[in-house]
Amino acid sequence: MKVMLTGGGTGGHVYPALAVAAALRELSTAERPVDLLFVGPRTRGEEDLVRREGLDFQPIRAGALRVGTPWGLAKGLFNLVVGVLQAARAVGRFLPDVVFATGGYASVPVALAARLRRRPLVVYLPDLVPGWAVRLLARLARRMAVTAAPAAARLPSGKAIVTGYPVRRGFFEAQKDEGRQRLGLDSRLPALFISGGSQGGRAINRAVAEQLPRLLDVCQIVHVSGRADHLWLAETRERLPDARRSTYHLHDYLHEEMPWAMAAADLALMRSGASTLGELTAVGRPAILVPYPYAGGHQRANARYLEELGGAVVLEEEDLPYLFERVRALLSDRPRLESMAAALRSAARPEAAQEIARLVLEAAA
């Protein structure tokens, strides 16, 4: 059986596809082998992520259409048309039994090509609010999977099932003590994990840098800055006193160690992209969530959902000057942190990737 996977544009669309790919491999047998191919753009490092997992990757063009200028819209439409033609050729060569898409504009060319080639399409919606791409794909899909019930209510009746967010097993397996050993953290100090996600982290990074001395007075920090801001943050770290520098652990990027870094912390500070819905619940890590204000409202809906669940506190970007006060208040309230962690774990769906993989195979059959 052949399965074509697609997604991209942000890590929140790539990582679920990789988790489902791993589950499909687990379901593969000698009598019924599963052959996988990932098709998508390489504009934001998708190819590196996919090949790191041992998957074949076929690059195509894809264009974002929600842009602010006529020239940007024209460029996006051109890339979309070229991407559909490239995807149609890829479908014609690979001849998949089913196509699995995880949303985002990068999925659109492959989904349209699947329709043109009469291949069944299964779509997963990572966020709680569908964007324009998923709303289009919902019309083409045979089945859909969603992270939580509020998302299903926004899609065609009877087509979506709630599976949870598929994450790597490492997020369920990582433990605090081992995480602290792996990252060289002090077992006696509270720890704050910081990540701005695959886009939109600069405002968080600047706020952290401005308040860094005060933050390091109350906790040690594991900061995943992203590559764009890593150099100037490293210079900021070098200016710290020796005692403080040793408690500020700066990384431009983490992959294999990401579950352990989150598990090692007492509190997380993050954007609220789709991945937080799966990773925070899997690790059970209380969080301060700062929604990216230019994501069509998706991140705000994700953040509010986790806040209503009892596992997160929402901090709007314009309120980042008050970050230190929020961090200090939460780290000093151990019962509240434990209650938040329990609320998140109660919403975890460890078998999400396996459920979606079975859904894909059923659509192919």
The full DSSP string for 22-71 is HHHHHH--SSS--EEEEEE--TTSHHHHHHHTT-EEEE--------SSHH
Q: Residue 283 and residue 305: Cα distance in Å, rounded?
A: 17
Same domain, 161 and 137: yes
pLDDT band at 58 (very low <50, low <70, confident <90, very high): very high
Same domain, 79 and 182: no
Domain extent, residue 126, equals 2-165+350-364
pLDDT band at 155 (very low <50, low <70, confident <90, very high): confident
Do residues 334 and 1 make contact, with C-beta atoms less than 8 angstroms apart? no
Same domain, 156 and 201: no
What's 268's DSSP letter? E
Same domain, 266 and 128: no
Mean pLDDT across the stretch 134-162?
89
* Count of the separate structural domains present in the chain: 2
**Amino acid 10: pLDDT:** 66
Here the tokens at position 61 are: 């063009």
Same domain, 339 and 358: no
Q: Residue 4 and residue 36: Cα distance in Å, rounded?
A: 6
Same domain, 154 and 232: no
Sole residue written with tokens 């959902």: 305
> Rounded to whole angstroms, what are the CA distances from 101 to 6, 39, 86, 334?
5, 10, 16, 41
This model's pTM is above 0.85: yes
Do residues 148 and 130 make contact, with C-beta atoms less than 8 angstroms apart? no
pLDDT band at 198 (very low <50, low <70, confident <90, very high): low
Q: What CATH number corresponds to the domain at position 91?
A: 3.40.50.2000
Q: What letters, b where the CB count within 10 A reaches 16 and e where it falls short, cover 314-332?
A: bbeeeebeebbebbbebbe
Mean pLDDT across the stretch 163-190?
95
> Which residue type does 5 have?
L
> Rounded to whole angstroms, what are the CA distances from 236 to 193, 232, 245, 250?
18, 6, 10, 10
